[in-house]
Structure 1
Amino acid sequence: MAAWLMLLAGVSAAGTWLALVYARRHKLIDQPGERRSHSVPTPRGGGIGIAFALLVGCAMAAATGMAGLVSLLGFATGLLLVAGIGWVDDHRPLGPVLRLLVQCLAGLVLAWGLHGAEGRWGWVVLTALSVPVLVNVWNFMDGINGLASSQAVLAAAAVGWLVPPVAYPALALAAATAAFVPFNFPKARIFLGDVGSGTLGYALAALLALAARDASAQKIPDALVLVLPLSAFLIDASLTLGARMLAGEVWWQPHTSHLYQCWVKAGRSHTFVTLVYAAFSVVAVILASYLSGVAPWFAGGGVALWLSIALLAWVRLRRRLVPGKGTERQA
């Protein structure tokens, strides 16, 4: 397995480097602005290397019989849809409705490939819904150096640790994403782009769908605690989105009102904020490991307590960073 993971990391790194060359040649550059958190023009689209690596992983799994062909085809087709619409959007901005429709289609394809043939309709619905949710969460939270990629590495590794039956796909995602990190952290030579953030959100949705199903089949409450490794992003994305909607803002447009962006605007470095979010997620993973396998009521209480603490911390920090504002108004 180690050799295969190294191969996937190598494919990802090579793909990211080629994307960097391509972006510079075709002027695929993110310019600084008041709705962005970077101050230097930076190429985008580097996440296509991660998408290529995951497709190579699918081919390897099919060749060795490590996974069913229908499941692999469903995953690969959905990945091509999400990464493809993201790659197009990186070149020419598309409307939010079209992007969402493609993401929903990818969710349906993935859900059918993983669960449809077995008639697990409850899992079909949950998987289909999770794809557009996590794709957009990762897109919203991809705003500073290393944040989206490091959180994806931690989440994937944690899921593989908590639910051993999905260790290979979890570690494959972690390895492919980790190979991108040096290109983006601590100094960003290239950004993930929509192709990259979409790929990470989609792959995590697929991984969680597999892990939750396997955990439930073992009659343990691991399916419940799997939300903890993603809690940093879920809390920041959902609360910021809710605040912007309540304020009557155009919530789908680019902005800098997430907690991590407010922290950067207040003077903290990208490196500091990314490492704080990583530390938060590491603690969440440790808690998830402790709650894994305990009584469902106890696990549920632990998850609820952790999310409540995270919510209160978000509110307190936001009030300190943006005094007197529920959310930042956008021009």
Structure 2
Amino acid sequence: MWAWIAIYAALGAAGTWLARAYALHRRMIDEPGERRSHSVATPRGGGIAIVAALLIATVAVGVRFPSHAPLAAAFGLGLVLIAGIGWIDDHRPLSPWLRLGVHAAAAALLGVAVGTIHGEAWLGLATFALAIGLTNVWNFMDGINGLAASQAALVALALAWLGGPVWSWLALALAAACLGFLPFNFPRARIFMGDVGSGAIGYAAAGLAALAASGLGSRSALLLWPLAAFMVDAGLTLLSRVRRGERWWTPHTQHAYQAWARRIGHTRVTLAYGAFTLLAVVSLRYVTEVRTGFILGMGAAWYMSGAFFWWLIRQAEPRDRD
């Protein structure tokens, strides 16, 4: 196991170094602006390293476990679609509706594969919804140093524990690749993940959660606990923008993590979000064998606590920013 982790951490680090050199050569630079949370021009596209490492791991899992190769193939093809449209968008901006269409196609591909192979229509529909949702949630939440990668690593660790003897290897590869990327992005960002990484990581987290759910049955709600920090911030911020009649699909800096970062800095916010998610991951150890009703109740309470913290952070902001 440790050799596996070391390999994918090394791939993540080496790939990020190469991606940074490429981004500087191609002038793929995110400039500061009022709709961004950084103040220094920074190259983007470093997430391609995480995607490449995860694709290698997907092939390795498919070869090592031939009976699971069709699911691994569907997962890998969807990952290529998500990362591919993000990579193009990192080079030249695309229509958000075109990107959403590709996201939906990748999510549908994975949903059909999961539902068909496991013979559970509800699982296929849940996979589709989660995949298209988390793909965009991770994109929305990738706005300050280290946040998206650190949250992905923590979520992947939880999925490695709950994913069973096959998919846990893929989750460990995701966690390791994110850890290899992090030194380039936190606490000081020398490269950003870019759409190629943020969307693909969200899709990967959704796919691994769906695959883990097939073995958890009625305890599948546990998989939502480590996602609370991102789900609450992205969901409530989106709802507040829709309620105000804003163009919710356009870039903005209204998320709670962005408002908080303006006051206390990127590093403290990333660590605070990490502590919140780490507590959820650790809590899973003590509730895996309890009744479903207790799991649902505790999960609802955890999301409500996240919503309360979101409200506190937003209340402290002097005024909303577009």
Bin of the TM-score, shorter chain as denominator length: over 0.9
Q: Structure 1 stretch 224-233 or stretch 281-290: which is displaced more? A: 281-290
Matched, 1:309 2:305: yes
Q: Structure 1 stretch 136-145 or stretch 102-111: which is displaced more? A: 102-111
Contact 2:62/2:73 (8 A) holds in 1: no
Change (3 A) 1:7 1:67: farther
Q: Which runs of 5+ in 1 are unaligned?
A: none
Give the distance between the partners of 2:279 and 2:67, measured in 1 at CA. 32
What TM-score does the superposition give when structure 2 sets the normalisation length? 0.96
Give the distance between the partners of 1:169 and 1:115, measured in 2 at CA. 20
Q: Structure 1 stretch 66-75 or stretch 185-194: which is displaced more? A: 66-75
Q: Which runs of 5+ in 2 are unaligned?
A: none
User: Which residue in the other structure is 2:30 paired with?
Assistant: 30
What TM-score does the superposition give when structure 1 sets the normalisation length? 0.93
Change (3 A) 1:215 1:190: same
SS in 2 for 1:255: coil
Give the distance between the partners of 2:295 and 2:306, measured in 1 at CA. 17
Contact 1:162/1:292 (8 A) holds in 2: no
The alpha-carbon deviation at position 299 of structure 1 amounts to 1.2
Change (3 A) 1:67 1:21: farther
Q: What whole-Å deviation, never above 9, does each CA across 1:212-242 have from its counterpart, x for those lacking one?
A: 11101xxx52x11211101000000000111
User: Which residue in the other structure is 1:189 paired with?
Assistant: 190
Which runs of structure 2 are paired with 1:40-189 in the superposition (5 Å)?
40-65=40-65, 68-165=68-165, 166-189=167-190
Give the distance between the partners of 1:116 and 1:100, measured in 2 at CA. 24
The alpha-carbon deviation at position 118 of structure 1 amounts to 4.0
Give the distance between the partners of 1:12 and 1:201, measured in 2 at CA. 17
**Matched positions, count:** 321
Matched, 1:200 2:205: no
User: Which residue in the other structure is 1:252 paired with?
Assistant: 249
SS in 2 for 1:242: helix
- Which letter maps to 2:144? I
Matched, 1:264 2:265: no
Give the distance between the partners of 2:306 and 2:21, measured in 1 at CA. 40
SS in 1 for 2:286: helix
Give the distance between the partners of 1:167 and 1:136, measured in 2 at CA. 24
Matched, 1:243 2:240: yes
Q: What whole-Å deviation, never above 9, does each CA across 1:143-165 have from its counterpart, x for those lacking one?
A: 00000000000011012224444
Q: Structure 1 stretch 304-313 or stretch 26-35: which is displaced more? A: 304-313
- Which letter maps to 2:261? V
- What is the aligned-residue RMSD (CA, Å)? 1.4
Contact 2:185/2:191 (8 A) holds in 1: yes
Give the distance between the partners of 1:117 and 1:295, measured in 2 at CA. 28
Give the distance between the partners of 1:17 and 1:182, measured in 2 at CA. 10
Change (3 A) 1:141 1:133: same
Q: What whole-Å deviation, never above 9, does each CA across 1:118-157 have from its counterpart, x for those lacking one?
A: 4322111111111110011000000000000000000110
For residue 284 of structure 1, the aligned residue among 280, 285, 305 is 280
Give the distance between the partners of 2:233 and 2:275, measured in 1 at CA. 15
Give the distance between the partners of 1:151 and 1:67, measured in 2 at CA. 31
Percent identity of paired positions between Structure 1 and Structure 2: 49
Which runs of structure 2 are paired with 1:212-251 in the superposition (5 Å)?
212-216=213-217, 221=219, 223-251=220-248
Contact 1:46/1:192 (8 A) holds in 2: yes
The alpha-carbon deviation at position 329 of structure 1 amounts to 4.4
- Which letter maps to 1:286? V
Matched, 1:318 2:314: yes
Give the distance between the partners of 1:210 and 1:281, measured in 2 at CA. 21
Contact 1:43/1:190 (8 A) holds in 2: yes
